[in-house]
Amino acid sequence: MVLFLWIFVLSLTGFVAKSNGSEVIGVSEGSDVILPCSIKESVVQQLFDWRKDGEKMKEVFMYNAGLHYNNGLRDQDDQFRGRVSHFPDQMKFGNASIRINNTKITDSGDYTCDFPHINGGMTFNISLFVDPVFKDRSGEISGSVPKPSVTIFDVTDSGVQLKCEVQGAFPKPELRWKDSDGNILDAEEAEISERDGRYHITLQTTVTSTTTTSFQCVVQQKDLNHETASTITVSEKLFVSSCSKVTTEGVLIGIGLGVLPTAFAALLLAFKFIRISWIRGTKKNKEDEPEPMKSLRSDNSNI
């Protein structure tokens, strides 16, 4: 019976593995998955509680001596309501496993199966990974992240700006720009947003005239050992236009810097000439003025 259960689990999930003593289960988005939990005695009259770890614990499924979330118990989290069931005919063999239907990205995470009243408390840990499956135009599965979209965003004085976008990736990937020689290029800080458990990421870089006009945006998910990329070729004319613009502006600035000192020197010389002319004119006017008449008082003093 246990062998049958594990074969059934493998057929539903895609893979089952061990990590640090915990079960790790992977399943494609939209399929069903069984989270295994069992002990060596009947659980028909026992209490077991399934919860999902996160910012706060979420109630997934609780069974208490015949009562459970599907027949009267309350407080099940809205995320799992109507999608979780157990195996009543297997409970006498100690099977407390649950089945989650129509898995979603947000179902990914760490789960605990807890028996609080057995042997002072027993807890089993299971990690679930729900993998979104993307398909290319031919309908073939292309991995856990769609191929990135690469475009020319703008042409500026600094060079040609390239933009790489990834929509709806999970888990969160890393993006980087490379040239055709495999060199990693400097890029701006990535813009990252998250919605419904999926990541939307944009990464921009500015390229200048180099030995290559081919550039590649690489998207990597290290946890899955998965990588995909898209390549864009930049016309040499864009580099020429950018460089020409910079060169023209540089020439104008250079001319301005060369003309300004000459103009300033000429202005000083003109000012000096005007000042000398003014001084000479003032002196000449003084020389042409008639001498003042001696006072009568001075003349009478000699009589």
- All domains of the chain, ordered by start, with CATH? 2-131 (2.60.40.10), 135-238 (2.60.40.10)
Residue with more model confidence, 113 or 235: 113
| Rounded Cα distance, 265 and 271, in Å | 10
Q: CA torsion 189→106→28→102, rounded to 10°?
A: -150
The Cα–Cα gap between 20 and 199 comes to: 27
Residue 141 has pLDDT above 60, yes or no: no
Please state the rounded mean pLDDT for residues 126-137: 74
Helix (H) or strand (E) holding 50: strand 47-52
- Residue 103 vs residues 12, 74, 173, 228: alpha-carbon distances, Å: 11, 22, 21, 25
Residue type, 10: L
Task: Choose between 89 and 285: higher pLDDT.
Answer: 89
How far, in Å, CA of 243 to CA of 110, rounded? 54
pLDDT score, position 120: 86
pLDDT of 21? 55
Phi first, then psi: give them for residue 216, nearest 5 degrees: -130, 135
Q: Could you tell me the two tokens for 268?
A: 């000083």
Give me the chain's average pLDDT, please.
78
Whole-Å CA distances, 50 to 2, 115, 116, 237: 20, 9, 11, 62
Give the separation between CA 67 and CA 69, rounded to whole angstroms: 7
Query: What pLDDT is attached to residue 268?
Result: 64
Query: Between 247 and 40, whose confidence is greater?
Result: 40
54-106 pLDDT tens trace? 667 899 999 999 999 999 899 999 999 999 999 999 999 999 999 999 999 88
User: What does the angle CA 122 – CA 128 – CA 131 come to, to the nearest 5 degrees?
Assistant: 175
Whether residue 100 contacts residue 107, with contact meaning beta carbons closer than 8 Å, is answered with: yes
